[in-house]
């Protein structure tokens, strides 16, 4: 709020803006590439983080690698361009199938366009040495990464597990994945001018 004196009448100028916007979420909408992940359909088991503790999960092959033969790819639900470079977050709930054994690193990648074709890699969430207990990991995109998204209706989520070192074999398990952005603005910024009276 600013006070401006115009002659003898003080004027208050209020910048009135819309309230803080809620978030919107892009989540798995269909299986695009399942490779050896089970049990299909996969997308409906990982599209709701609020139910990630209900035992609904998908699993990789034993001792997966971070490559195109052991990945799982989902088409993702359409969201509206938030007209913002902030608040873009990749999030996953995941774990491995047993404690100990080989180290399990896990990654969730966000693409615009088909990852198996000419899709553009936007950002990567990496979790190192994921344990047997469920864990939630998140990665906030940089402004430059967010600005690389030009079509929020053409997003894909790609998950992988990657074993490291020796020991008994392990399987990667994913319980939920999502991409969060601010909601799209519904209005602009207005100015309200009030006279207060007096000098």
Same-domain pairing of 48 and 129: yes
pLDDT in tens, 153-190: 999 999 999 999 999 999 999 999 999 999 998 754 44
Same-domain pairing of 30 and 96: yes
Same-domain pairing of 157 and 138: yes
CATH of the domain at 125: 2.60.120.260
- Residue in 98, 93, 101, 73 with CA at minimum distance from that of residue 163: 101
Q: Dihedral (C-alpha) 192, 193, 198, 199: value to the nearest 10 degrees?
A: 120
Query: How many secondary structure helices (H) and strands (E) does the chain include?
Result: 1, 13
Same-domain pairing of 85 and 146: yes
- List Cα–Cα distances, 137 to 126, 172, 174, in angstroms: 8, 15, 12
Same-domain pairing of 32 and 11: no
The sign of the CA dihedral 178, 181, 182, 187 is: negative
State the Cα–Cα distance between residues 56 and 47, nearest whole angstrom: 10
Same-domain pairing of 192 and 125: no
Same-domain pairing of 122 and 196: no
Report the predicted TM-score, pTM, of the whole model to 2 decimal places. 0.82
pLDDT in tens, 126-160: 999 999 999 999 999 999 999 999 999 999 999 99
Could you identify the residue written with the tokens 């199938």?
97
Give φ, ψ of 50 to 5 degrees: -70, -20
Segments forming the whole domain that contains residue 174: 22-183
Same-domain pairing of 193 and 175: no
């Amino acid at each position: 709020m600013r006070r401006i004196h115009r002659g003898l009448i003080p004027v208050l100028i209020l910048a009135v803006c819309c309230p803080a916007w809620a978030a919107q979420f892009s989540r798995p909408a269909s299986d695009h590439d399942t490779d050896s992940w089970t049990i299909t359909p996969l997308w409906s088991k990982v599209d709701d983080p609020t139910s990630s503790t209900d035992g609904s999960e998908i699993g990789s092959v034993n001792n997966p690698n971070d490559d195109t033969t052991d990945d799982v790819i989902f088409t993702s639900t359409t969201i509206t361009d938030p007209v913002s470079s902030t608040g873009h977050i990749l999030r996953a709930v995941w774990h491995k199938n047993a404690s100990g054994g080989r180290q399990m690193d896990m990654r969730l990648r966000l693409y615009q366009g088909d990852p198996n074709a000419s899709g553009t890699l936007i950002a990567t969430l990496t979790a190192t040495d994921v344990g047997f207990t469920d864990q939630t990991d998140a990665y906030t995109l940089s402004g430059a990464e967010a600005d690389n998204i030009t079509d929020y209706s053409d997003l894909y989520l790609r998950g992988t597990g990657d074993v490291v070192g020796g020991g008994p074999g392990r399987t990667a398990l994913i319980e939920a994945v999502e991409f969060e952005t601010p909601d799209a603005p519904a209005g602009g910024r207005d100015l309200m001018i009030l006279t207060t009276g007096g000098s």
